[in-house]
Each structure stands twice: as C-alpha cells, then as structure tokens.
Chain A
Amino acid sequence: MSDATIAPARAHPGGALGELVSLRTISVLVVLGVSALIIYPIAVMVWGAFGPNAAVREQGLLQTLIEANVVKVLTNTFIVVGAGGAIAMVAGAMFAWLNERTDASTGWFGEILPLMPLLVPQIAGVIGWVMLLAPRAGLLNAGIRDALSVVGVELNSGPLDIYTMGGFIAIMGLYLTPYVYLPVSSALKSLDPSLEEASRMAKASTWSTFRHVTMPAIRPALLASLLLVLMMGFAIFSVPVIIGTGANIEILSVRIYHLVYGYPSRVDLAIILGLVLTLIVQTLLLLQAWIANSDHAAQIGGKGARVARVQLGHWRLPARAALIAYILAAGVLPVLGLAFVSLQPFWTANIKWDVLGFDNYRTIFTGYGQTGEALFNSVALGIIGGTVGMLIAALLARTAKTSGGLLGRAINAITAAPAGVPHVVLAVGFVLSFSSGWLNLSGTWLILLLAYLTIFMPQAMRSAAVAVDQVGRELVEASQIFKASPGRSFRKILLPLMLPGLAAGWVILFVQMSGELTASALLAKSTNPVVGQVLLDLWQNGSFPEIAAVALIMTLINSAVVSVVFGLLRRSRAHRP
C-alpha cells in the first residue's frame, strides 16, 4: 500500500479515533509541555551544580560534601528512614493481615485507613502530635503527669518527648504505615482464600499456613511496599521539618530546604544534595519496577469468597484495640490536640476552660497576617489544580490507551517521571528555572500551579488510568455501532462512565495540592502565600494557637470535600454496583 492510499484512510480512522485526530494533537502538545516542566528545571539544576559557575569546581565534589556536613545528615537520614520504615513495615503488614484474615477484622478499618491521609493533612497531623507530646506544654504529657501525681510521682516535663530521635522515628512510622497497609491488604484480598483453606485441609497449622502459603504469596507486595516506604521516607518533608528541626536532627530533605531558604543560602550545595536524593529515590523506583515485572506470585482473582478467618481467641480484643489505636493515633488524637490549642489564647498544658474561645479563628480572617489569604489561595489552587490536572490526565490516559504505540509509551513514561524526583528537589529546580530572566514567575500563582501540576501528575495519571480502564472497550465500540457520532459517544458514554473515577482523582489532587508543603515552602512568597508555607513561617515565629486553628480549618475543609464528593459517588453508584 503506497503512502498516497494511507492518507485518506487515516482521515477518519475507525470510529472513536475520529475525535482523537484533534485530541491526539492536543495530547502531544500537553506531553511536550509536561516534559518541559520536568526536564527544564532539572537541566538547569545540573548546569548550576556542575557548570562553569559552580562552587564545586573550585573545591571538588568531595570537599564540598564534607564541608556541608553531609555525613552527619546522611547518617541521620538512614537511621530515621530505616527505623521508621521498619515500624511501618511491621505495623502495616500486621494490620493488613489482622483485618483481612482474622476475626479481629472490622469492616470500617479497611475503609477508613486509606482515607486518613485525605481527611487530615499530614502537616496538620504532625503539628497536632507536637501539641500533644511536646515535653512541657504537650497536652498528653500533662495528662500523664496529672495521673502520675495522683500516685505521688511529680514531674515538671515529660514523661514523653516528641523532640527526640525516638519521637521522630515513631511519628515517621505512623505516617509511613499506610504505604505498607494498602499494597499488602490488596494482595491479601486478591489472594484466593481457597489456597489457604487447601493448606488447612492438608493438616497444616495456622502458623504453618501463614508461613508456607500466605507469606510467599504476598512477598512481592511486601517487597514493593518496602521500597515505597523507603522512597516516601527519603522524600517526606512535614515530619522532619517540624519534629526533626525541633529535635535538632536534620535529614536530607530538610537540609536541602535549609540550604536554599537559610542565610547565607548555598543553592549549589542544595542542588548536589538534591541530586543525591533523586539518585536514591530513582534507584528504589527502578528496583520496584524490576520487581513488579518479575512478579510471578499468585495473582489469582478471588471471587470475593468469604474467608474462613483465623480465630485469635484471647488475642482478638488486643488485636482489635491495636487497629482502633492506629486510627486514633493517625487521625483523631492529633486533631483533638489541634482543637484544644486552637481555642486557647496561648499554648499551655494547663487548660483554663474559661478563656477558651474562637479568637484565633477571628484573627485568621481579620488579622494582619496572611493566613486568611493563604487559606483562600490554597483552596483555590486545590480546586483549579485538581480540575486542570484531572482533565489533562484524563486526556493523556485516554490517548495512551487508545493510540498505544510510541505515543502511548511516551505519555506513560513522561507523566510518571516526577514520581522519581523528590518534591523538594523539583521545587529547587523551579526556583532556579522560573525566578529570573525571561521566565520570571517568582511570587505568582502560576509558578505554584505549574509546580503542583508537575509534582502530582503521576498521581493524577494513576487515577485517570483507573477511570479510563473502568470503561470497557466494548462499551465505547457499542456506542459507535449504535450510530453515535464520535463526539456523542464521548459525551454520552465515555465521560459519564469516567466521571466517578475522575472525581475520586480530583479529591486526591485537591487534598494534596491545597495542603502541599514542600514545594510551597520554597516557591510561595508574601505575594502568593499558601497554607503550607504560612504554617512553616508561623511555626518558626511561634504563634501556636493560630497554627492549630489554620491546621484545623484545613482538616475541616478536607473532610468536607472528601465526604461530599465520596458521598455523591456512593449514591451515584448505589443502583449500579
């Protein structure tokens, strides 16, 4: 077939592709835009670190690193991430097994746990824990002291101190646990229970069944979550910047931030450390992809058959208590801490009930500070960013699926790339690339929006891919067969069917963007304040009740958005399960 004959046939290629002729062009442009937003800042960073003007050239790389006290920072990082990750692995895997395979299970645990990070922004939770466990003013500590004084033990501070290596590690573990729970519990869900039942029928004990059947089957999920935990642990910013700074334990992600933000700033060092951090995360990412590819474990789709749950006997109540305790620790307790502090005129462990009031909330919206403006900006950025992000992701995911081939692979690779670059590093890249010269966006909304879209594009693509996959190929084909034009098929079939998935993705984007801390800390200024950056500023200037109030307001906004959207989704799904 000559080229001349291909051309007219491609003019309206079969069915839904008609609409994609133009959509394809748009997709290509969007992909180019996204790749520019990732590649350009990183290229600028590398140039800055090793180019002709870099300080490294005078001192040599090693000397520079030693001068920056990198060894100490790296040691801290490995201890905190290692120990926190270990806690998360044990707790997450245990919770997953308890909830999926034993009689300690409660239905709501599995539903609430994945929602926790959406309901309570991480920064709010971390600040809440400080409010509870600070050595002197911590509310929980005060409560424990009161209890101890009843039995005659008098303490001025403590007994617990969050500003220690132990406290740091414990809170890291707390926030890393979901990254283990989710993959492991879904692996357990998809593991056909009859495999375990067969083992029990073959006279194997509960323990032996767990060791020889369950464990090998979920090993890939455990391995994947280990890598995920390490990746998240290296990149996480909220816990180290609040608790680590208080405990005087600096880890890599915070060090990079301090190098840029502190005085005198050492951007060149920040870049080098950023590249080190990126290298670590990329390695973990590659390992994960490699494991996912060589995953030959039992992926047998269970038909949702009822599992004969392991009877825990005496252990059932303690096990269930552990599940409940986790929910309390990850969500309820820190929010209570925030609520108490936010109602006080100043942060003290001695709650005087008569002075509690809403003054701090009034200050936020009427005071001189920027908190009110920051709240508005963050919510607006969440809404705009979430909407734009999901639209772009839906378009790209659909194009990747229908066109396949080189374009499809390019779309998937490029949109996944930001996942391998820690937020703080990407933010440094944005600072360098868009703060001067012809592309000066410094202090604008746009730089924040672009950074958020880039950072959360992998997340948006995952949600959109799920939404696209939910619409079976035959459903769209049937629409074409039954005489609908491409545009009509898109409006009447594709869009309504994708909408629930897109809405769920939108919620995740909204929550993450409106509560974004890491990039905001470097990119937001007094002209474009957002919640994450204002909270950090306030934290350094010590207006704790106001911080608590802002964090609580964010929690309330998130909870409202999450419950409204998910409630609507649930209702729309009610008649078509």
Chain B
Amino acid sequence: MRNPALTEQIMSYSAGVSPSAPRIVVRNLTKRYGSAHGEVLALDDVSLEVAVGEKLVLLGPSGCGKTTLLRSVAGLETPDEGEIEIDGKLVFSAAKGVLVPPEKRGLTMVFQSYALWPHMTVFDNVAYPLVNTRVAKAEIRERVREALRIVGCAPYEARYPSQLSGGQQQRVSLARAIVGRDKTVLFDEPLSNVDAQVREQLRGELVSLQRRFGFSALYVTHDQSEALALAHRIAVMKSGRVMQIGTARDIYDRPTSRYVTNFTGAANSFDGRVRAVADGVASLETAFGVLDAPAGELAVGQAVDLVIRPEHLRISTSRPEGNAFEIRIDAAMFLGIYTEYAATHTAASDEKTAMLVRSTEPTPLSEGDRVWATVSPTNVVVFPKGGDDE
C-alpha cells in the first residue's frame, strides 16, 4: 500500500474489537405501530448478529420490517422491546431504559435518497461528520479528498449535489459514509434510486470498498439478485419476522419455506406424497412419477409440497437414470444467458402438470418436442403440507 493515509485507515478498521465479538447484536426486538386498522407488528421478536467485517443483507418485500430494523439499529426509531448492542456496548434496551442517540452509536449510513444536504458543497457534505467529531482542519481536508478520490468524485468537490447525476450523488454519499472510519455502515436500499447500468457498477464498487475497509455492513434491499450478489449472509424477512438466515447459497439451494423459495428466485411448486423413506432418501409420488428427495423429517404417507427451481431441471433427449420424467415443450424464450421453456408433463391418467425449465444447452428445442427432464435429488426441496408459512 503506497498511500500512508489509506494504510492507516485500513489498520484502524482491522484493529480494535476481537474477531470473536460480533459487531451488532439484536436481541428480541419488537416494534408496534398503531394504525387505523389496529396494531401492526413492524418487528416481531427479531434476533440476529452481524460479525466483524460481515455484510448481512436484510431481504424482503416492502412492509416486511427490514427498514424498521435498520432504522432501529441506527437509532432513528425506538423499538418497543428488546436490546441492541454495537461493539459490545448496549445502545438500546427497553428493559433497562437505555437509548443512545444516533450520533453516539459510532456508525454511519447510506440513504436511499442519498440525503446529501443541498445547501452544502460536495466537500462540505463529506467533511460534515469530521467537523462534528472535531477533527483538525488540515486532516479534514486530506481525508475528504482521499474519500472522494476513492469513490471517483474528486473533481466535483466544489459542486453542489444538485449538479451531480444520481450515481455521482450516491458515490458522494458513500464517501461521506467511509470518511469517518466508522466500523459499521448501514445501507438503506442505496441502489434502488439509480438506473440499472449504474446500479451494477456501484454494486461492484460497494463490494470492493467493503473488502478494502473491512467495515461491517447491514444492508437493506428488496432485490433478491442484489442480495445474492452482495451478501455474506442473508436474512429473509416477512411480516416483522426473520424467516431464514444463512449464506446466499443456503438460502437459495436449501430454503426452509415456500416463502423464502419464492422470494429468492423462480420456482416450480408441485403437490406430492411420501411413499417410502429409506437411507435418508424419500420416494415421493407426484403427478409426473416418483421422485427421490432428501428424507429429512418426512414420514411415510405425509402430503408434501415439492419445489424445484427451473435451472435445476436438466433436459436430455434419451431417458436418463434417477429422477426423470417426460415433458413436451410448449414455448421457448431465448433470454441470452439461458433459454426458458414452458413445458407440460402428461400422465397416463391424462393429468397435465405445467413447469418452467431453464437450460443453457446451445441446441434449441422447439414447440412440440418431447424430451426428458431430470433433477438431482438434492435439488428437490420438500416442505410438509400445512403448518407452512403461507
């Protein structure tokens, strides 16, 4: 590292807390809102942790409580119950009557609307947190310029926010978030206001910024591909509760509920019944034949939902081994990186089952083609019927 200021900056990120203590701890957080139709639970007994240097993404549709959770951690909202710790320090506890205001929580935030102050220049915007913490003038100048250089906005320091594009404004807002060297950065849908091309670019820059400075990030989004791309771990939320928390791959390949399955990507859902269980493998009876799946806690005779993602269905022209059934191609849609087929299986009883298949095979199939579809047993996700979340 050639730049001494930057080296110091990175050192200051990695120093401090021992790696074992989590950066953020949220315990049993509950927040109620009164509304015209009675009480709404924005947060319903939520607990989670963010490790040092970890990016945890809160994913869910609007109204699921993810923003309320983020704002509670920031100190912009006061939950009704529970506790929040940041760097081992209690910043909120309903039971103990602790409420540390946002400016004393030692974190920064990137807002959806950028939240750059329109009456200040880009330089003054970025300098603001340093001025507030009484950093010496000469150092402020140096650090603001450095931060602006890192996000590629050095040429604009004398401009006003309104003279910048949306993407540039969000970069300045990023500079403001890293200039104070805080160990935690909160992101409130930071990319949802910029257009698609800039979004991809900024997403990449976010990843490299986080690698470079090692801050912990709590990141809110409703965009599943953004979540999968950015996260070390994802917490999928619904109606104020965390439905599942795990690595991106866990969430995608081993969802524990139909809600999580559907929210993280396209999925085919089928009805089934457990016919036999042996050696950790369950045989499931479906409208399109018998499929093997991980047995889990399934019992013989149980009615189940099966979920198979379209890209986990593989197509072959001859009958393969294992989980396989015949389908007829109804329509094909070429989407660049893959081709999406709408297909139907027709059983002997004439019962029809429709499904989507995504294939990266170069040879195209056309309407009316009859082929074999196959799926690896590990890619068949099974939930017992009833008792589910939906």
Contact = CB atoms under 8 A, between A and B. Distances in A.
A17 B180 CA distance: 24
Contact of B160 (A9, A486, A576): A576
Contacts of B266: none
A259 to B, nearest CB: 47
Contact of A576 (B74, B109, B162): B162
Nearest to A499: B119
Contact of A488 (B113, B132, B162, B186): B132
A350 interface: no
Contacts of A15: 75-76, 101-103
A351 interface: no
B377 interface: no
B265 to A, nearest CB: 31
Contact of A481 (B77, B96, B108, B112): B108
Contact of A483 (B81, B112, B132): B132
Given A480-B101, A482-B180, A575-B160, A475 B76 contact: no
B383 to A, nearest CB: 36
Contacts of A478: 109, 111, 115-117
A474 B115 contact: yes
A13 B128 CA distance: 23
A479 B101 CA distance: 12
A15 to B, nearest CB: 5
A497 interface: yes
B80 A474 contact: no
Interface in A489-526: 492-493, 496-497
A576 B118 contact: yes
Interface in A521-577: 575-577
B97 interface: yes
A12 B115 CA distance: 24
Interface string B112-140: 11011111000000001100110000000
A7 B97 contact: yes
B176 interface: yes
A8 interface: yes
Contacts of A497: 117-119
Could you say which of B77, B119, B132, B160 has the most chain A C-beta atoms within 10 Å of its C-beta? B119
Nearest to B92: A9
Contacts of A496: 119
B163 interface: yes
A474 B94 contact: no
A313 interface: no
Contacts of B115: 472, 474-475, 477-478
A9 B97 contact: yes
Interface string A63-74: 000000000000
A79 B364 CA distance: 81
A432 to B, nearest CB: 42
B78 interface: yes
The CB with the most chain A CB atoms within 10 A, among B103, B128, B129, B180, is that of B103
A135 to B, nearest CB: 56
A481 B102 contact: yes
A456 B103 CA distance: 38
Contacts of A14: 75-78, 99, 101-102
Contacts of B95: 1, 5
Contacts of B43: none
Contacts, number: 106
B74 A481 contact: yes
B76 A482 contact: no
A484 interface: yes
Nearest to B30: A1
Interface string A1-28: 1000111110111110010000000000
Interface in B353-384: none
A482 B176 contact: yes
A474 B132 contact: no
Contacts of B103: 15, 480-485
Nearest to A477: B76
Contacts of A492: 128
B60 interface: no
B132 to A, nearest CB: 4
Contacts of B176: 482
A480 B76 contact: yes
Contacts of A477: 74, 76, 102, 111, 115
Contact of B94 (A5, A480, A493, A577): A5
B327 interface: no
A474 B180 CA distance: 19
A497 B119 CA distance: 7
Contact of B111 (A5, A9, A474, A577): A474
A501 B10 CA distance: 43
Nearest to A482: B129
B191 interface: no
A9 B94 contact: yes
A477 B98 CA distance: 20
Given A9-B99, A18-B101, A474-B113, A482 B132 contact: yes
Contact of B80 (A1, A18, A484): A1
A12 B97 contact: no
Contacts of B78: 9, 13-14
B208 to A, nearest CB: 23
B294 to A, nearest CB: 44
A13 B72 CA distance: 12
Contacts of A8: 97-99
B50 interface: no
B151 interface: no
A576 B94 contact: no
B107 interface: yes
B161 interface: yes
Contacts of A480: 75-76, 101-103
A325 B76 CA distance: 55
A577 B162 CA distance: 7
A12 B119 CA distance: 28
Interface core residue of B101, B108, B111, B163 (most chain A CB under 10 Å): B101
B144 to A, nearest CB: 13
Interface string B76-106: 1110110000000000001111110111000
**Interface-central residue, B98, B128, B163, B176, by most chain A CB under 10 Å:** B128
B28 to A, nearest CB: 12
B306 to A, nearest CB: 44
A379 to B, nearest CB: 30
A438 B86 CA distance: 60
A517 B180 CA distance: 57
A58 to B, nearest CB: 51
Nearest to A480: B102
A472 B77 CA distance: 16
A47 B119 CA distance: 53
A497 B116 CA distance: 12
A488 B163 CA distance: 26
B117 A475 contact: yes
A482 B108 contact: yes
A1 B119 contact: no
Given A5-B94, A14-B75, A493-B117, A483 B129 contact: yes
A483 B116 CA distance: 15
A427 to B, nearest CB: 40
A5 B97 contact: yes
Given A478-B117, A483-B132, A576 B161 contact: yes
CB-CB nearest 8 A-B residue pairs:
A8-B97, A478-B115, A482-B129, A474-B115, A483-B132, A480-B102, A481-B109, A483-B103
Interface of A: 1, 5-9, 11-15, 18, 472, 474-475, 477-486, 488, 492-493, 496-497, 575-577
9 contacts: A5-B97, A9-B99, A12-B101, A14-B77, A14-B99, A480-B103, A482-B108, A484-B132, A576-B119
Interface of B: 74-78, 80-81, 94-99, 101-103, 107-109, 111-113, 115-119, 128-129, 132-133, 160-163, 176, 180, 186
Given A1-B95, A474-B113, A497-B119, 6 more contacts: A1-B94, A8-B98, A11-B97, A15-B103, A480-B75, A486-B101
